[in-house]
Chains A and B, each alone.
Chain A
Amino acid sequence: MSPLIEGFGALLDPTVALCIAAGAVLGMLVGAFPGVTATMAVALASGFTLSLDPIPGLAVLLTIYVAANFGDRVPAILINTPGTPASIATTFDGYAMAKQGRAGLALTASAFASAWGTLVGIALLMVAAIPLSQLALNFGPAEMFALVVFGLTMMIGVSGGKITKGLMAGVLGLLLGAVGRDPITGVARFTFGVPELSEGIPFIAAIIGLFGIAEVLDQILTHRRSGVTPITQFGKWLPTRKDWRTMLKPLAVGSGVGGVVGVVPATGGDIAGILGWDQARRASKTPEEFGKGSLEGITAADTSSNATLGGSVTTTLALGIPGDSVMAVMIGSMVVWGIQPGPSLFANQPDLVYSIAGIMLIATVLTLGISLLRMRGVVKLLDLPRHFLWAVILVFCMVGTYAISNNIFDVGIMLAFGLVGLFLRRFGIPAGPVVLGLILGKLAEGNLRRSLEIGGVSNILTSPLAMTILTISVLALVVPPLRESWKRRRARTRATQPDTADRDTLTP
Chain B
Amino acid sequence: MPTTTIRVTGGLLALAAVVAVGGCANRGGTSEDAADYPSKDITLVVPYQAGGASDLAARTLASQMEDTLGQSIIVENRTGGAGSVGLQHLAGRPADGYTIGYLPVETVMLGFQGYEVDPASYDLIGQMVSVPATVAVPTDSPYETLDDLVKAAEENPGSITVSNSGAGSIWEAATDDLGESTGTEFQPVPFDGGAPAVTAAIGGQVDAVIAGISETSPAQADGRLRVLAIFDDQPSESLPDVQTAAEQGVDVVIGGWGGIGAPQGLPEEVKASLEEAFAAAAGSEEFTTIITDSGNIPVNVPAAEYAEFVESETDRFEQLLSDGS
Contact = CB atoms under 8 A, between A and B. Distances in A.
Direct contact of A and B (CB under 8 A): yes
Interface of A: 39-40, 42-44, 46-47, 50, 137-142, 181-186, 188, 195-199, 202, 265-266, 319-322, 328-329, 332, 335-336, 338, 340-344, 405-407, 409, 442, 446, 450, 453-455
Interface in B109-132: 113-116
Contact of B191 (A188, A341, A450): A450
Contacts of A186: 113, 166-168, 190
B81 A265 contact: no
A94 to B, nearest CB: 29
Contacts of B79: 405-407
Contacts of A46: 50-51
Contacts of B190: 183-184, 186, 450
A335 to B, nearest CB: 5
B295 A335 contact: yes
Contacts of A450: 189-191
Q: Which DSSP category, helix, strand, loop or mixed, fits chain A's interface?
A: helix
A265 B202 CA distance: 13
A342 B116 CA distance: 40
Contacts of A47: 50, 59, 75
Interface size range on B against A: 35 or more
Contact of B189 (A142, A329, A453): A453
Contacts of A40: 50
A332 B294 contact: yes
B51 A328 contact: yes
Interface string B58-89: 01000000000000000111111110110010
Contacts of A446: 192
Is chain B's binding surface mostly helix, strand, loop or mixed? mixed
Given A319-B202, A342-B224, A183 B167 contact: yes
Contacts of A335: 214, 218, 293-295
21 contacts: A43-B50, A46-B51, A139-B203, A140-B203, A196-B81, A321-B198, A321-B202, A335-B293, A336-B290, A341-B218, A342-B219, A342-B224, A343-B223, A344-B222, A405-B80, A405-B85, A407-B78, A407-B85, A450-B189, A450-B190, A454-B161
Given A265-B196, A344-B222, A195 B84 contact: yes
Contacts of B218: 320, 335, 340-342
A342 B115 CA distance: 37
Contacts of B198: 321
Given A266-B196, A319-B202, A335-B214, 12 more contacts: A40-B50, A43-B50, A43-B51, A46-B51, A47-B50, A186-B113, A342-B222, A342-B224, A343-B222, A406-B78, A446-B192, A454-B161
